[in-house]
Chains A and B, each alone.
Chain A
Amino acid sequence: MKFAVQVLEAPYNNQASDTAYHFIKAALDKGHTIVRVFFYHNGVVNANNSAEPPNDDRNIYKRWTELGKEKGIDIVACIAASKRRGIKEGQIVEGTRISGLGQLADMTIEADRLITFG
């Protein structure tokens, strides 16, 4: 099955980013396809590359690099939502990219299921 994933909350403040990550890992393990991950609302903070979480806990930002760079999943932060929150092109987590809301509409249409976290 083709899944599209939307994340609406910032990491750590809310479990949404954690559950999205675990969902994606489990879906891939079962042989499903992830069409795209889209960060919207405060979810765009997931793409902030200047964050340095304490190293005795999970690093949510690196998880997106793992999925984007190593697993080849398309991970997009909404440009308008990013600008509002100080997330800028060139300062985003490796394996993610910034693009428009059309990417959300596009993945919603393409995927068999859209799953929203947050």
Chain B
Amino acid sequence: MDEEMEVNENVKKVMFVMRKAPHGSIYSYEGLETVLITAAYEQDMTMVFVGDGVFALVKGQDTTDIGIKGFIKTYGALEHYDVEKIYVDRVSMEERGLTPDDFAIDVEVKEAEEIAALMEEQHATIPY
């Protein structure tokens, strides 16, 4: 564990769990908005993509034909907000025929057990 984080009691671990595909509902989009706002509070943030949530990260999305504003580019801004812990559940990814090369940003692929262990460490877990 990062020692600096450990001594600063004001910094809380907050995990955002992204569960939905990007355009079928607004959960993914409004969830991302929350991540960006919370980043301004300089907390120890983690994003985890599970289930259909992994589709949100697929590169080359073109929403022109469905008439919905796309937001895949916003994920590229996360590193500028110091949101660097971005994890994808391996089984969710593989079940949907995806590999890390399909994603628009660099992610770390993790096992469900690892994600569960991370959840245990969090001050708060926010599901979207």
Interface residues of A (CB under 8 A from B): 4, 6, 8, 40-41, 80-81, 100-102, 104-106, 108-109, 111, 113-114, 116
Contacts and interface: CB of A to CB of B under 8 A. Distances in A.
Contact of B33 (A4, A8, A101, A111): A101
B30 A41 contact: yes
Please classify the interface of chain B as helix (H, G, I), strand (E, B), loop, or mixed, using the class held by over half of its residues: mixed
Contacts of B30: 40-41, 80-81
A116 B38 contact: no
B118 interface: no
B12 A114 contact: no
B67 to A, nearest CB: 16
23 contacts: A4-B124, A6-B126, A40-B34, A41-B26, A41-B27, A41-B30, A80-B30, A81-B30, A101-B38, A102-B40, A104-B34, A104-B37, A105-B37, A105-B40, A105-B41, A105-B43, A106-B41, A108-B14, A108-B38, A109-B41, A109-B43, A109-B123, A114-B124
Please classify how large the interface on chain B is, using the bins under 10, 10 to 19, 20 to 34, 35 or more: 10 to 19
Contacts of B40: 102, 105
B70 interface: no
A1 B15 CA distance: 21
Interface string B36-62: 011011010000000000000000000
A110 to B, nearest CB: 9
A100 B124 CA distance: 19
A14 B54 CA distance: 25
